[in-house]
Protein backbone atom coordinates (compact mmCIF):
# COMPACT_ATOMS: atom_id res chain seq x y z
CA UNK A 1 0.00 0.00 0.00
CA UNK A 2 1.18 3.50 -0.83
CA UNK A 3 -0.11 6.75 0.63
CA UNK A 4 -0.12 10.06 -1.21
CA UNK A 5 -1.16 13.57 -0.29
CA UNK A 6 -2.63 15.69 -3.07
CA UNK A 7 -2.35 19.36 -2.10
CA UNK A 8 -3.93 22.18 -4.07
CA UNK A 9 -1.92 25.32 -4.60
CA UNK A 10 -3.85 28.36 -3.43
CA UNK A 11 -4.27 31.41 -5.66
CA UNK A 12 -3.75 29.45 -8.86
CA UNK A 13 -6.02 30.40 -11.75
CA UNK A 14 -5.36 27.16 -13.61
CA UNK A 15 -5.67 24.57 -10.88
CA UNK A 16 -2.34 23.32 -9.64
CA UNK A 17 -1.67 20.45 -7.30
CA UNK A 18 1.40 18.79 -5.86
CA UNK A 19 1.39 15.12 -4.90
CA UNK A 20 3.61 13.98 -2.04
CA UNK A 21 4.38 10.48 -0.78
CA UNK A 22 4.16 9.39 2.85
CA UNK A 23 7.66 10.82 3.48
CA UNK A 24 6.49 14.24 2.19
CA UNK A 25 8.68 13.87 -0.92
CA UNK A 26 7.08 15.46 -3.97
CA UNK A 27 6.38 12.77 -6.59
CA UNK A 28 4.00 14.46 -9.10
CA UNK A 29 2.98 17.92 -10.25
CA UNK A 30 -0.49 18.50 -11.67
CA UNK A 31 -1.22 21.56 -13.73
CA UNK A 32 -4.55 22.60 -15.19
CA UNK A 33 -4.95 24.63 -18.34
CA UNK A 34 -5.85 28.31 -18.12
CA UNK A 35 -8.59 29.78 -20.33
CA UNK A 36 -8.37 26.80 -22.65
CA UNK A 37 -11.20 24.78 -24.10
CA UNK A 38 -11.34 21.95 -23.33
CA UNK A 39 -10.04 22.19 -19.76
CA UNK A 40 -7.15 19.79 -19.20
CA UNK A 41 -5.00 18.65 -16.29
CA UNK A 42 -1.56 17.17 -16.89
CA UNK A 43 0.12 14.94 -14.32
CA UNK A 44 3.91 14.91 -14.57
CA UNK A 45 6.53 13.09 -12.57
CA UNK A 46 9.56 14.92 -11.16
CA UNK A 47 11.52 14.32 -14.40
CA UNK A 48 8.75 16.23 -16.26
CA UNK A 49 7.47 13.07 -18.00
CA UNK A 50 3.74 13.22 -18.70
CA UNK A 51 2.12 10.38 -16.78
CA UNK A 52 -1.57 11.21 -17.30
CA UNK A 53 -3.80 13.70 -19.10
CA UNK A 54 -7.31 14.49 -17.90
CA UNK A 55 -9.56 16.29 -20.40
CA UNK A 56 -12.98 17.71 -19.54
CA UNK A 57 -15.58 17.16 -22.26
CA UNK A 58 -16.75 20.57 -23.43
CA UNK A 59 -20.40 20.06 -24.32
CA UNK A 60 -22.06 17.64 -21.96
CA UNK A 61 -25.07 17.94 -19.70
CA UNK A 62 -23.21 16.41 -16.75
CA UNK A 63 -19.43 16.70 -16.23
CA UNK A 64 -17.44 14.10 -18.14
CA UNK A 65 -13.67 13.60 -18.19
CA UNK A 66 -11.47 11.51 -20.47
CA UNK A 67 -8.33 10.09 -18.87
CA UNK A 68 -5.19 9.02 -20.70
CA UNK A 69 -2.51 7.25 -18.68
CA UNK A 70 0.94 6.76 -20.22
CA UNK A 71 -0.48 7.92 -23.58
CA UNK A 72 -3.34 5.38 -23.68
CA UNK A 73 -7.02 6.33 -23.47
CA UNK A 74 -8.00 4.33 -20.44
CA UNK A 75 -11.34 5.45 -19.12
CA UNK A 76 -14.04 8.09 -18.81
CA UNK A 77 -15.25 9.59 -15.54
CA UNK A 78 -18.89 10.68 -15.64
CA UNK A 79 -20.97 12.40 -13.02
CA UNK A 80 -24.33 10.67 -12.93
CA UNK A 81 -27.66 12.34 -12.41
CA UNK A 82 -28.90 11.99 -8.83
CA UNK A 83 -31.07 14.08 -6.55
CA UNK A 84 -29.39 13.54 -3.20
CA UNK A 85 -25.80 12.31 -3.43
CA UNK A 86 -23.13 13.00 -6.02
CA UNK A 87 -22.42 9.80 -7.91
CA UNK A 88 -19.65 9.09 -10.41
CA UNK A 89 -19.06 6.21 -12.74
CA UNK A 90 -15.76 5.19 -14.28
CA UNK A 91 -16.41 3.72 -17.70
CA UNK A 92 -13.72 1.50 -19.18
CA UNK A 93 -12.02 -0.04 -16.16
CA UNK A 94 -14.95 -1.54 -14.25
CA UNK A 95 -14.31 0.85 -11.36
CA UNK A 96 -16.90 2.41 -9.09
CA UNK A 97 -16.75 5.05 -6.39
CA UNK A 98 -18.52 4.29 -3.11
CA UNK A 99 -18.96 6.54 -0.10
CA UNK A 100 -19.47 10.26 0.17
CA UNK A 101 -18.05 12.01 -2.87
CA UNK A 102 -19.52 15.31 -1.63
CA UNK A 103 -17.39 15.08 1.52
CA UNK A 104 -14.48 13.57 -0.47
CA UNK A 105 -14.51 10.46 1.74
CA UNK A 106 -14.79 7.51 -0.61
CA UNK A 107 -13.41 4.15 -1.69
CA UNK A 108 -12.45 3.19 -5.22
CA UNK A 109 -13.68 -0.34 -5.93
CA UNK A 110 -12.93 -2.74 -8.80
CA UNK A 111 -14.77 -6.05 -9.07
CA UNK A 112 -15.92 -5.80 -5.46
CA UNK A 113 -12.40 -5.22 -4.11
CA UNK A 114 -11.27 -1.87 -2.68
CA UNK A 115 -8.25 -0.67 -4.67
CA UNK A 116 -7.98 2.78 -3.10
CA UNK A 117 -9.32 5.11 -0.45
CA UNK A 118 -9.62 8.90 -0.53
CA UNK A 119 -10.24 11.25 2.37
CA UNK A 120 -10.18 15.00 2.59
CA UNK A 121 -8.07 16.59 5.28
CA UNK A 122 -9.97 19.40 6.95
CA UNK A 123 -8.58 22.64 8.37
CA UNK A 124 -5.80 22.91 5.79
CA UNK A 125 -4.80 25.83 3.61
CA UNK A 126 -6.27 24.74 0.27
CA UNK A 127 -7.79 21.38 -0.47
CA UNK A 128 -5.68 18.46 0.69
CA UNK A 129 -6.59 14.84 0.06
CA UNK A 130 -5.03 11.71 1.49
CA UNK A 131 -5.00 8.95 -1.12
CA UNK A 132 -4.27 5.33 -0.27
CA UNK A 133 -3.51 3.03 -3.19
CA UNK A 134 -3.52 -0.68 -2.39
CA UNK A 135 -1.81 -1.78 -5.65
CA UNK A 136 0.72 0.35 -7.53
CA UNK A 137 -0.88 -0.29 -10.94
CA UNK A 138 -3.93 1.79 -9.88
CA UNK A 139 -1.89 4.83 -8.75
CA UNK A 140 -2.46 7.11 -11.80
CA UNK A 141 -6.09 6.07 -12.14
CA UNK A 142 -6.96 6.94 -8.55
CA UNK A 143 -5.00 10.23 -8.56
CA UNK A 144 -6.70 11.20 -11.87
CA UNK A 145 -10.09 10.36 -10.39
CA UNK A 146 -9.49 12.68 -7.40
CA UNK A 147 -8.41 15.55 -9.69
CA UNK A 148 -11.51 15.15 -11.90
CA UNK A 149 -13.92 15.03 -8.94
CA UNK A 150 -12.20 18.06 -7.36
CA UNK A 151 -12.65 19.95 -10.66
CA UNK A 152 -16.38 19.13 -10.74
CA UNK A 153 -16.79 20.28 -7.14
CA UNK A 154 -14.86 23.52 -7.83
CA UNK A 155 -17.00 24.24 -10.92
CA UNK A 156 -20.20 23.65 -8.93
CA UNK A 157 -18.99 25.88 -6.12
CA UNK A 158 -18.09 28.67 -8.57
CA UNK A 159 -21.50 28.37 -10.27
CA UNK A 160 -23.30 28.48 -6.92
CA UNK A 161 -21.36 31.59 -5.92
CA UNK A 162 -22.00 33.30 -9.26
CA UNK A 163 -18.32 33.35 -10.25
Sorted by where each begins, the domain ranges of the chain are 2-160
CB 92 within 8 A of CB 104: no
C-alpha 6/C-alpha 73 separation (Å) is: 23
- pLDDT attached to residue 158: 62
- pLDDT attached to residue 44: 96
| Interacting residues of 147 by C-beta distance below 8 A, sequence separation 6+ | 6, 17, 30, 41, 43, 54
Q: How confident is the model at residue 40 (pLDDT cuts 50, 70, 90)?
A: very high
Strand, helix or coil at 39?
A: coil
- CATH topology for 2-160 is Porin (2.40.160)
**pTM for this predicted structure:** 0.85
- pLDDT attached to residue 161: 65
Q: What is the pLDDT of residues 100-140, one digit of tens each?
A: 877 789 999 999 999 999 999 887 767 899 999 999 999 99
Amino acid sequence: MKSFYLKQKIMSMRGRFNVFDELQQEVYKIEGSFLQIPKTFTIRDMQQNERALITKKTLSWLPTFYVEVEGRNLFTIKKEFSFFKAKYSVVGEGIEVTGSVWDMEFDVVKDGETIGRVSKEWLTWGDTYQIQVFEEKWEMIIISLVVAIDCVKADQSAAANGV
